[in-house]
Amino acid sequence: MTYILAAIPQKGKNRMEHLNIQKATERDRSQIANIISVCYEKEFSTLIKDMAKVASALSPGIQIPRFYTAELNGEIIGITACSDHTGRAVHIDRKACRKSLGIIKGTLVILFLSNEFMHSLPYPKDTGYIEFVGVLPTYQGRSVARRMINTIIETSEYQNFILDVTDVNIPAQKCYQNIGFQEFKRTPEKNGKTKGFDERIFMEYKK
């Protein structure tokens, strides 16, 4: 199903083009992996510099039914996912990680993904956990993330939603606040100096 939520003017063009927010399909797998690698490059670059290899390692473990895409003129320009207590949006394909990155770096990425994305969520079944919010740099600041998250809120059966954001990501914090998310806790980040931030801010939205 496709939700045409708004029209976004493209830079350098006078006409308006529709932004389509839709559930991801299998054909989107590689593009989702590419956007994750681009938008989370800072985190991955502490382990490996080649984001194409990171995307190749991630691709097999992407759980397509949990993802949404934002598409403009046939190009996916943004993604996000909604997980819950039954599982996360990205699983670890150990074989793909080691094949794409080598045994040593592949093992390090497996450990990184396990710590960041693979722990189970301690939330009730009526709560969705929004993660992997990513918009290509050219389209950032144009409400793409807000529209994707609003689509999840409006179309899913969850009654509550939780997400987290780093303490240094002020634009994302403001975006989530404008949607209606409110901060409810902060946790110090392990190895924060290496990652470039000190805390994770957890925010909640209730229908």
User: What pTM value is reported for the model?
Assistant: 0.87
Cβ neighbours of 51 (radius 10 Å): 17
CATH of the domain at 138: 3.40.630.30
Residues 87-112, mean pLDDT to the nearest whole number: 88
Identify which of 48, 66, 65 has the alpha carbon closest to the alpha carbon of residue 57.
Answer: 48
Identify which of 46, 63, 28, 92 has the alpha carbon closest to the alpha carbon of residue 191.
Answer: 46
DSSP state, 167?
Answer: T
Q: Which letter, b or e, does each residue of 180-196 get, where b requires 16 or more Cβ atoms within 10 Å of its Cβ? A: ebeeeeeeebeeeeeee
The total of structural domains in the chain comes to: 1
Tell me the C-alpha to C-alpha distance, in Å, between residue 195 and each of 62, 118, 132, 186: 23, 18, 17, 16
Residues 95-110, mean pLDDT to the nearest whole number: 88
Chain Cα centroid distance, residue 201: 16
Residues 135-154, mean pLDDT to the nearest whole number: 95
Identify which of 120, 119, 116 has the alpha carbon closest to the alpha carbon of residue 85.
Answer: 120
Least confident of 6-20, 142-156, 163-177: 6-20
Query: How many angstroms separate the first and last alpha carbons of the chain?
Result: 22
Domain containing residue 183: 2-206
**113-143 pLDDT, tens digit each:** 777 777 889 999 999 999 999 999 999 999 9
Q: Which letter, b or e, does each residue of 52-91 get, where b requires 16 or more Cβ atoms within 10 Å of its Cβ? A: ebbbbbbbbbbeeebbbbbbbeeebbbbbbbbbeeebbbe
> What is the pairing mode between strands 160-166 and 127-135?
parallel
**164-207 pLDDT, tens digit each:** 999 999 999 999 999 999 999 999 988 777 778 899 999 999 99
Q: Would you say 46 and 195 are in contact if contact means Cβ atoms under 8 Å apart? A: yes
Q: Which tokens sit at 140? A: 């950032």
**25-71 pLDDT, tens digit each:** 999 999 999 999 999 888 788 778 899 999 999 999 999 999 999 99
More confident of the two residues 81 and 190: 81
pLDDT of residue 156: 95
pLDDT of residue 140: 92
**Phi and psi angles of residue 143, each rounded to the nearest 5 degrees, phi first:** 70, 15
60 CB-near residues (< 8 Å, 6+ apart): 93, 96
